[in-house]
Structure 1
């Protein structure tokens, strides 16, 4: 789902000057209802304290493996990009990162990512190509900082994206429900947009989808319906960062 989406990760029509496009907010969700499809045992995720922020992601693993090596290469590549802001106008740099992501996607351990219990977590966005999520077109005070999270609750079938702005004094949130279309598609229906203390009901047209193209218990990669890329880390993934 996008933050990220996004979490951004981390890919609609309702917005404000400080809001994120709903399509890009499709960073991830779990089925509120999936007709004719048996769902796996789900893990409830607490939205309580968000994982600690890390300045420069560099993945470190205790054992070498092809997957670990690609994840480490990806984290090293995105570390200097500030969630993607530093390469927002550099298509070549984005393509280099995308090439690493595609190598990781080819090693996806989950044949049906949207049915995996790993989906339920407090995900932190660490990279995206979504200008809407990054807020590059907003006035500086309304641009989010690096604290962009997505909480996926598999039991409730809900996803909540959150971003901090104005020096951390203001928090915006997007609340949504979701369903899945195996093996990797997540379909999101937005319910409410929250801008600081203000809350606005989302219109019925506020919906979107994304594909979960890589998922394990540390890293999630999603591609939104606006062709944006989202890379997110779970608390376990964040614990492997230095």
Structure 2
């Protein structure tokens, strides 16, 4: 007669407890190394692997705000790299480079941390230095103004007094002659708020110092003012504590960085 085999119950002490559930914020993943020893299982009577665990920690994902801040910082870095060595674009740049710069400008404008700048003029006031503009001095204008050999352009500054509604543009020059001398063109203007992002600008007066430099530009002074005259309107499309971007009624783009509170 066939013998009836009865499987013995597994003692409770040998039952494997359930694994704890991983948390939602930080997950610990347990991976096993490829090299391991094989041992005899006292429970199942067969060979199983004796694994040496390796633990990796998965950090919680970044918040959307952190991602936006990183994107903004990266866009500013790439913008500064793109305008490096272009002499503010004043003597023209290749169209491909110009398009590249405008792409970074539009990206920054889409993430403007101050969407209503004229309501927060404290962020606009102070001294700024021009680092890029689509205004260009080319061909006969550059020749007439002596900007090919005799006259060199220095820094461009803009000082904004929000309490008085005044803006002063300063364009520095150096002239080569028997004695090298430095001078500047100063253009004063008034502005009035016309929208949450736009100001209307009117020309007040201008001057060139010293007199030697005025003598150089006197014949072509109208050309010089025609290039740098801020008359019209300006829309502030981006501004933070360090960088400001604007667009005017003539289609020009201006990129300026903050330098301090006093006139240079």
Question: Shorter-chain TM-score: what band?
Answer: 0.5 to 0.7
- Give, in angstroms, the shift of residue 143 of structure 1: 4.6
Structure 1 residue 156: deviation in Å? Answer: 1.4
For normalisation by structure 2, the TM-score amounts to: 0.57
| Distance apart, 1:131 and its partner CA | 1.2
Mapped partners of 2:75, 2:106: distance in 1? 10
- Structure with the bigger percentage of helix: 2
Q: CA deviation at 1:132?
A: 5.0
CA RMSD of aligned residues (A): 2.7
Q: Does 1:90 align with 2:94?
A: yes
Separation in 1, partners of 2:153, 2:107: 30
SS in 2 for 1:80: coil
Normalising by structure 1, what TM-score? Answer: 0.62
- In the alignment, which residue of structure 2 is the partner of 1:65? 70
Higher strand share: 2
CA contact (8 A) 1:148 1:162 kept: yes
Instruction: Kindly tell me the number of residue pairs found equivalent between the two proteins.
Output: 167
One of 186, 189, 192 as aligned partner of 2:199: 186
CA distance in 2, matches of 1:217, 1:123: 11
Match of 2:258 among 234, 237, 240: 234
Structure 1: any 5+ residue segments left out of the alignment? Answer: 1-63, 237-242
1:11-90 aligned at under 5 Å gives the runs 65-85=70-90, 88-90=92-94
Equivalent residues in 2 for 1:80-159, closer than 5 Å: 80-85=85-90, 88-116=92-120, 117-132=122-137, 136=142, 138-140=145-147, 141-145=150-154, 147-159=155-167
Q: Give the 3 Å change call, closer, same or farther, for CA 143–227 of structure 1 in structure 2.
A: farther
Q: Which structure has more RCO (C-alpha within 8 Å, separation ≥ 6)?
A: 1
Distance 1:131 1:206, change over 3 A: closer
* Alignment match, 1:56: none
